[in-house]
Amino acid sequence: MSGPRLKVLMSTGPLKDDDNPYLQQLVTGLSAYCDVEPLSWRAALFSRPDVFHVHWPEQLYRANGWAKTIVKRVLSAVLLARLRLRDVPVVLTVHDLSSHEADRGIERVLYRALERIVTLRIYLNESERNDRTRGVVILHGDYRAWLREHGIDMSPREPERDVILFGWLRRYKGIESLITAAHDAEATLTITGRAIDASYERSLRALMADVPSSVLDVRHRDDDELTAEVLRHKLVCLPYPHMHNSGALIYALSVGRPVLAQRSPFNEFIAREVGEQWLMLYDGPLTGVKLHDALIRTPPSGLPDLTRWDWSTGIALHLACYRGLAAADGRHLPSKVVRELVEAEPAFAAHSAFNAPV
């Protein structure tokens, strides 16, 4: 990983203890080889990065409160203009096919302005929906090494309850269907994670009142507590109607719990990799029968094979992207950028057939 030490401006801001573990592992790993600068108002106005890396574009123009939202949108507009004028390469990690909450008005304008200057996309899976002329695959890293480094106990244990859903509680995730299915299957259910707002929390509590032995816990849980809670359950269920990536799914597999999820190109890719005993897929809406059938299946032994999701490879390929883009002479079409990257670095094709030169 030798080469000049680059400056990468990261769109997500300073790391916090309760940040997504994917982001924490990415920034920590990259920081050993390049200078990672978190986005701030000062950085938006004055930073001179070699590369700008975007995660979850909606975070650039959304905030709590109208005044903060206006300030954030103005700063984002200034930042995008500065990046364009200076021909700074822009990398976009495709966490989702689209924003979970629909963009409106000025949000659409800002998102389109960002899209026009994106040089390279990073896809976290090998879904058939990925456009290989616009980006490369760097698989979403797993969480095992991270959890071990933090002394988290992942030893096997006998589950005490049936099914758990964890992570941000948001309307698009189909959580209501899981509550109904758990009721119909007479399954013990735990839902844990922060709700997107108080109104949605109240709605979930009202639904769960009719499900005996159900638990709704909207606290943020540290990794040790979350891992222990996941391992108390037989099954993780993620009933998202349109799943493209899921850190919760990778987390569950990392600690050795099987997952039930709706069929999607992303989930089919994961199921092919780890086996259907670890990721059980269903078609159509989730029902009590489908949940019951998953719960009575013989649980898999050991741990799923996640060797392709190792972070050392992911960090090396991110650095190869940054260095290739920073060394390019002027702005190029994404297809040319992708071709030059995969031809210059054989590790891309070794990591994923999606990255093979065409």
- The answer, yes or no, to whether residue 331 has pLDDT greater than 80, is no
Contact 170, 56 (CB under 8 A): no
Q: What is the pLDDT of residue 99?
A: 60
> In this predicted model, what pLDDT tens digit does every residue of 106-116 receive, in sequence order?
888 999 999 99
Query: Cβ neighbours of residue 168 under 8 Å, at least 6 residues apart?
Result: 193, 194, 196
Domains (range + CATH), the chain: 7-141+310-355 (3.40.50), 145-306 (3.40.50.2000)
Contact 106, 94 (CB under 8 A): no
Token representation of residue 79 = 């930042």
The CA dihedral of 254, 260, 261, 264, to the nearest 10 degrees, is: 80
Enumerate helices (H) and strands (E) in the chain, giving the number of each. 14, 12
Confidence class for position 20, pLDDT limits 50, 70, 90: confident
More confident residue, 332 or 188: 188
Q: What is the pLDDT of residue 71?
A: 92
More confident residue, 129 or 186: 186
> Which phi and psi angles does 202 have, rounded to 5°?
-60, -40
| Average pLDDT for 142-156 | 93
* Residue ranges in the chain assigned as alpha helix (H): 21-31, 41-46, 66-85, 106-117, 144-149, 175-185, 198-208, 223-231, 247-255, 265-274, 288-295, 311-327, 334-344, 347-351
Instruction: Name the burial class of residue 199, with classes exposed (0-12), middle (13-18) and buried (19+) by CB atoms within 10 angstroms of its CB.
Output: exposed
Confidence class for position 3, pLDDT limits 50, 70, 90: low
Q: Please count the other Cβ atoms lying within 10 Å of the Cβ belonging to residue 306.
A: 20
| Average pLDDT for 141-163 | 94
> In this predicted model, what pLDDT tens digit does every residue of 120-147 receive, in sequence order?
999 999 988 899 999 999 999 999 999 9
Cα–Cα distance, 276 to 259 (Å, whole number)? 9
Q: Which of 8-22, 187-201, 266-280, 310-324 has the lowest mean pLDDT?
A: 8-22
Q: What is the pLDDT of residue 55?
A: 96
Whole-prediction pTM value?
Answer: 0.92
Q: Which of 46-50, 308-312, 332-336 has the lowest mean pLDDT?
A: 332-336
Contact 179, 211 (CB under 8 A): yes
Confidence class for position 30, pLDDT limits 50, 70, 90: very high
Q: What is the pLDDT of residue 100?
A: 47
- The answer, yes or no, to whether residue 334 has pLDDT greater than 90, is no
33 Cα distance to chain centroid: 23
> In this predicted model, what pLDDT tens digit does every residue of 4-14 receive, in sequence order?
789 999 999 88
Cα–Cα distance, 247 to 187 (Å, whole number)? 24
Helices 247-255, 21-31: axis angle to 10 degrees equals: 80
Integer CA distances (angstroms), 213 to 108, 179, 189, in order: 43, 12, 7
Query: Cβ neighbours of residue 104 under 8 Å, at least 6 residues apart?
Result: none
| Average pLDDT for 321-327 | 95
Cα–Cα distance, 93 to 75 (Å, whole number)? 21
DSSP 8-state symbol, 300:
P
DSSP 278-289: TEEEE-SS--HH
Residues in the chain: 358
